[in-house]
Amino acid sequence: MTIQLKYYYSLLILSVFFLASWPTRVTAQTVEHPIKIEIHPLQQQVAPGESSALTITFRIPRGFWLGSNDPAARIPAATVIKMEKEAGFTFESARFPSPEVRGVPVHLGVTHVFEGEITVVVPFKVAKTATAGEHELTAKITYTPGLNAGHLTTHSKELYSVKIMISSGSGNGFAATPKPTKKQVPEDFLVAEKKLNLPQPMKMMFHTWDENGLLPKFLHRLFVDPDNHGKHIQTVWHPFVGSTENNGQTIGGAMALMNVTREGIMTGTFDVRAYHNEYAGNTIAMDVVSCPGAYVNYWFSAQLAEDRNRQVQFHNENLALGQSDRFGYEVQVDAFQDPRYRFFGLGAGTNEEDESNYTHEEFGGFLDL
């Protein structure tokens, strides 16, 4: 394991530990249950022989997806509604609004999802011989909340019920069946953030910045966050230590300013670290990483050591350009000089003055057409 791998391992462990430590805000749903689902009858009372419908509303928080009703859907998985049998009722298939196309470059396929608030309609007919009185109608709903970075846990066959009354007299035949609808949810309809009360001294290592301050505003611009992103900046201090046969012993520390969503996903980091390595000497380094969207990201890394260790790396990828994410590009630059890789010329007569430091430069990229 190299020094850099040990450093990122340390960063990953501490990142996982702190992700649930930011302040709670008064918001709508939780990460475990992000989507609000309600079921209502079109009419509270129906008569034998009548047709009516149920409406099932899904309120999806900002930034979340809900899988479409296509059985072939995979990112996220399909939303399935099945009505449990109830004597005297015959249900039709659930009717969904049209989904949105989002987030995956066309060369890899597109994904169809629901966003905002959608209303699904389940028509039904009451038998002429149906028993008068109160009946409970139950829908079994399987759905998977998702984000453009991946999907969350599938909620399998959750039960949602509503009561409806069958009158003793005959009805007028049918009620007009509404069409499925979709609309946006308010900008403040977001998942609630969690808070983990940490004991000292761990609590001192984390700090949540005021989003109205100059530093968070600058970092959100640096991370290419859109308006109403709902993210916040979290500070993480962390020490690290490592030792390998090739790279020697390393000890140091770092401070990371992390860009974190309400769901606990780190989409960017501005990291400064300083350490001492027995071969490279004292070193200062910086990393800036951001992934503002699916298949859109950049990474800049630089480090400088007192013993001729220099390194600069830059990588930028955007595979979501044009209509339906049709085009894309990737660019990378890598240049370094590492004192741990040295040459002394060829042959037994080589002088110590012939020592040279290994230097490497690499440039590359591609276009996705």
The 10s digit of each residue's pLDDT in 350-363 is 665 655 555 667 77
pLDDT score of 275: 93
Note the pTM of the prediction, 2 decimals.
0.68
Indicate the pLDDT class of residue 202, thresholds 50, 70 and 90. Answer: confident
Does residue 346 have a pLDDT over 70? no
Question: What angle (nearest 5°) sits at the alpha carbon of residue 142, between those of residues 186 and 65?
Answer: 35
Q: Which residue has the higher pLDDT, 241 or 74?
A: 241
The 10s digit of each residue's pLDDT in 54-105 is 999 999 998 888 999 988 877 788 999 999 999 999 999 999 999 998 766 6
Mean pLDDT for the stretch of residues 223-231:
84
Which secondary-structure segment (H or E) carries 5? helix 3-18
C-alpha distance across the termini of the chain, in Å = 38
Indicate the pLDDT class of residue 22, thresholds 50, 70 and 90. Answer: very low
Pairing between β-strand 248-260 and β-strand 145-147 as defined by DSSP bridges: unpaired
Mean pLDDT for the stretch of residues 14-43:
65
Portions of the chain given CATH number 2.60.40.10: 36-183
How many beta carbons lie within 10 A of that of residue 288, not counting itself?
A: 19
Could you tell me the two tokens for 27?
């918001």
State the amino acid at position 51 in one-letter form. S
pLDDT score of 108: 64
| Among the listed residues 308, 240, 312, the one whose alpha carbon sits nearest the alpha carbon of residue 275 | 240
The rounded mean pLDDT for the chain is 81
The 10s digit of each residue's pLDDT in 149-163 is 566 788 999 999 999
The 10s digit of each residue's pLDDT in 115-164 is 999 999 999 999 999 999 999 999 999 999 987 656 678 899 999 999 99
Mean pLDDT for the stretch of residues 248-256:
92
Answer yes or no: CATH 2.60.40.10 is held by domain 36-183. yes
Share of the chain above pLDDT 70, in %: 80
Does residue 27 have a pLDDT over 50? no
